Amino acid sequence: MLERIGITNFKAFGRQDLTLAPFTLLTGLNSSGKSTVLQALALLRQSYEAGVLEDGGESGLLLNGEFVQLGTGQDVRHEAYPKDDPDIGLTVLPVGLPDAPLTWRAAYGPEDDLLKLVAAPPTGTHLVRALPELFGPGFQYLKADRIVPDISYPRSHHAVVRRGFLGARGEHTANYLRVHQDEPVGTALRHPSTTSGTLLAQTDAWMQQLCPGVNLQAIGIDGTDTVRLSYGFGSGVNASNRYRPTNVGFGLTYALPVVVACLTARPGSLILLENPEAHLHPQGQTSLAYLATAAVAAGAQLVVETHSDHVLNGLRISVKNDRIPASATAVHFFRRSGQRGEAVSPRMGDDGMLSEWPRGFFDEWENSLDQLLD
């Protein structure tokens, strides 16, 4: 499990160290550094998969690829970098190895999209053994711009069978369901409304928290490399026709990759989620927080970026109800101070209460209520 991340001269941060927990929640104002944290982890994974993260030869941080598209060096180096320390640096510390952080430093090139490494972990370091969550199987990164309702979705054996990957936009989710729909879901992740433990049944059960009565079907389209996703409502004699995603609410398809990513979590999985609450009503947002905490209880590590107080409160209630311990959480509130992003990190107690409530931290409801009552 990842315990800390250090970021130097990268995007919002000149220098920032953050504690990571089994459930890490990132929140705060727009353009304050939340996405920077997720992108730093995704950048390391992207560079590793491209084969350029090792020291020597054409090694470096690959800024544009499957997970992130960050531009060139001048787009990512922190604006107020110190003149005596111009390199971009990323450090990740695994749990239990306080003296063995893995650090990569890359030289700045304003027009470069591969920032060449000037320092890396010692030669011979086996990255998958050192950081299996980040570089091994079980990694998922779902960006904020996920799949939208469409007629069909791609069918890739390599993505869903060999890699077990949903796609950075969740574009392989429908095919993943088609291939793995009968596989069992871990006990900690199962919704109490159904006795069936299959992935499809559990996906239906959790999706019904977003839209009561909905059920899914994913089938391959003969003669093509695509998969058709459809929704139905009710069952038995009360079952509806099948509907295309384009004829059903936008939020269902947008949330589907998040649901499947959590349901397929395994011990050692690392799941990065951007705005899981997007296009969902408040009850659905809280339900996704419950599912995310269930994934943590199943042994996964989640880093979640959110603007939703319902997601935060779902996490707090889960702690209060002993679904996960308070020690398994980290909450970071980001804000800007001039050109720099900074983080305030309230601690969560066993009762779900937070040690502090910084100005701007989910306080707009109270601010609006004060004006209404004035």
Return the sign of the alpha-carbon dihedral for residues 57, 62, 66, 72: negative
d(CA 54, CA 124): 9
Q: E strands along 120-164, which residues? A: 139-142, 153-154
d(CA 309, CA 156): 36
DSSP 8-state symbol, 310? H
pLDDT (0 to 100) of residue 84: 81
Residue type at 228 in one-letter notation: R
d(CA 179, CA 165): 12
Angle at 361 between CA 18 and CA 134, to 5 degrees: 30
- pLDDT tens digits, 20-36: 999 999 999 888 889 99
Domain ranges of the chain: 1-136+307-374, 147-265
d(CA 29, CA 25): 14
Closest by CA to 100, choosing from 71, 122, 75, is 122
d(CA 158, CA 39): 24
- Tell the burial category of 27 from Cβ atoms under 10 Å away from its Cβ (0-12, 13-18, 19+): buried
Closest by CA to 86, choosing from 7, 6, 9, 5, is 9
Closest by CA to 362, choosing from 264, 285, 303, is 285
Note down pLDDT in tens along the chain; length 374 residues.
999 999 999 999 999 999 999 999 999 988 888 999 999 999 999 999 999 998 666 899 999 999 999 999 999 999 888 888 889 999 999 987 767 889 999 999 999 999 999 999 887 788 999 999 999 999 999 999 999 999 999 999 999 999 999 999 999 999 999 999 999 999 999 999 999 999 999 999 999 999 999 999 999 999 999 999 999 999 888 889 999 999 998 999 999 999 999 999 999 999 999 999 999 999 999 999 999 999 999 999 999 999 999 999 999 999 999 999 999 999 999 998 777 778 999 999 999 999 999 988 998 888 888 888 98
Report the predicted TM-score, pTM, of the whole model to 2 decimal places.
Answer: 0.94
- Tokens, residue 365: 């409801």
pLDDT (0 to 100) of residue 364: 84
Integer CA distances (angstroms), 220 to 12, 67, 240, in order: 43, 26, 21
Fold of 1-136+307-374: Rossmann fold (3.40.50)
Cα 79 from chain centre: 26
Helix (H) or strand (E) holding 27: strand 23-28
Integer CA distances (angstroms), 38 to 26, 41, 306, 319, 361, in order: 9, 5, 12, 24, 20
Closest by CA to 258, choosing from 141, 180, 132, is 141
Are residues 290 and 205 in contact, defined by beta-carbon separation less than 8 angstroms?
no
